[in-house]
Amino acid sequence: MKTEKRTALALINLTTGGFYLKDGRLYHDDLGELPSVEEIAAVVKQNPEEIADILLDDAVNESLPVELDTPTVRRITAGAGTVADVEALTEARAEASRRVFSIGQQLMDEAGESTAEVAVEIILAFARGGCALQEDEGFKLLGGDSILPEHQTVTAALDREPGKVAALLRFHCESIGIVPKKSDVFALSAQLAGYHHSDLCLGLDELKTAMKPKKEFTYAMIEEAAQLLIQLAKKGYAYKGKSIVNLADTSEILPETDFGIIDRALAVAPCAVADLLFEEIEEIPDEIGEAIEAGEAWEKDVFALCELMVMRNA
C-alpha cells in the first residue's frame, strides 16, 4: 500500500475518534494537543506499571470487553505491569472498541430499516395493553408509570416516516369504529390505549354483568347511548352510577333497565361517549377536557358532562 494511502487511512481512523491534525501536531477534541509517539513511548518506558494500571481501570469502568491473558492481568493489578503489557492492553482496547462500534453500527442500521408498518404494530400491541406512546417516544400505562423509556424501532420509524405512521394509526382507528379526535401519533396512541383499556375493564366486569360480548357492540350503539344521555339531560336527568337521576329531585330515579345501552356503552368505551357529549357543550372544566383528549375519560367524567348539560338546559 502506498505511503499516501496509508497516511490517509490513518487520518480517517484518527478523526473518527475525535483526533485531528494541526500545525504538524495531533490534537483531540477534549484533550487538546497530544504528545508525539516518541514522547508517549518514553513515558510508557519510564512508568509502565502506572500507565498499565490506568488503562486497565478505564477499560473496566467503561465496560470495554478487553481480552487479556491471566498472567498479564495479574501483573498489571499487582502494580508490576511492563511495556509489553501496556502494548498488549492498548491492542486489546483497540479491538474491544472496534467490536463495540461495530455492534452499535449494526443496531443503528437495523433500527434505520424500521418501517412505519412495523412501528404501528408495536404501538398497537402496547395500546392493547392500555399503554400509550409518549412524546419522549417511550410507553406509559394509562394512569400509571412509564414501562419502557424508549423503543428504538418506533423512534427510528417516527424519524423517517412520521406522517405514514400517523396515517396508518388513523386508518386502524376508523377500521374498528373509533373516530380520531386528533391526527398526531401520540394523541392517536392515547386514544387507542384508552379504547383498549376500557375493553380490558369490560372483560374483568363481564362476570358481574349481563352485557353482550364486546364484538357485538358497535360504534353506532355508542352514538345511540350518547344521544339518549343528551335527550335525558334536556329533561333534567343525568346518568349517575348506573342510574338516571332527576337533578332537581334526586329521589326520582328512573329504572336502569330502561337504559341498559348506556351502561354497556360506558363499560365498553366511556371515552367515546364522553367525546360525543363534549361536542354538545361549549365550556367544560379543564380537567375533564384533558381527560377526554388523552383518552382517559371515565364514568365520573360522563356524569359531570351530563350535569353540565342539565344546567345549560335549565
DSSP 250: E
Query: For residue 70, what is its C-alpha cell?
Result: 491471566
DSSP 145: -
Biggest distance spanned by C-alpha atoms of the chain: 98
pLDDT of residue 204: 46
Q: Which helix (H) or strand (E) holds 139?
A: strand 139-141
> In angstroms, how far is CA 12 from the centroid of its own chain?
37
Label residue 48 exposed, middle or buried (CB < 10 Å: 0-12, 13-18, 19+). buried
What's the angle, vertex CA 158, arms to CA 156 and CA 161, rounded to 5? 105
DSSP 291: H
Whole-structure pTM value: 0.35
From first to last of the 314 residues of the chain, give the pLDDT tens digit. Answer: 567 777 676 667 666 667 777 887 878 877 788 888 888 889 889 999 999 889 888 888 877 777 888 888 888 888 899 999 999 888 888 887 777 766 655 655 555 556 788 888 888 888 887 788 888 768 887 766 666 777 777 887 888 888 888 999 998 888 888 888 888 899 999 888 888 776 555 544 444 444 444 445 577 888 888 888 888 888 888 777 666 777 777 666 665 545 678 877 877 777 788 888 877 776 666 776 676 666 666 666 777 777 777 776 65
Query: For residue 66, what is its C-alpha cell?
Result: 478487553
- Is 261 in contact with 225 (CB distance < 8 Å)? yes
HEC letters along 56-110? HHHHHHCCCCCCCCHHHHHHHHCCCCCHHHHHHHHHHHHHHHHHHHHHHHHHHHH
Edge-first strand listing for the sheet containing 249-254:
237-240, 243-246, 249-254
Residues 6+ positions from 200 with CB-CB distance below 8 Å? 129, 130
- Is 303 in contact with 239 (CB distance < 8 Å)? yes
pLDDT of residue 199: 56
pLDDT of residue 46: 92
Label residue 168 exposed, middle or buried (CB < 10 Å: 0-12, 13-18, 19+). buried
Q: Would you list the DSSP string of 195-226? A: HHHHHHHHHHHGGGS-PPPGGG--HHHHHHHH
Query: For residue 157, what is its C-alpha cell?
Result: 420509524
Q: Which helix (H) or strand (E) holds 50?
A: helix 48-61
Distance in angstroms (rounded) separating the CA atoms of residues 166 and 194: 17
pLDDT of residue 118: 85
Q: Which helix (H) or strand (E) holds 243?
A: strand 243-246
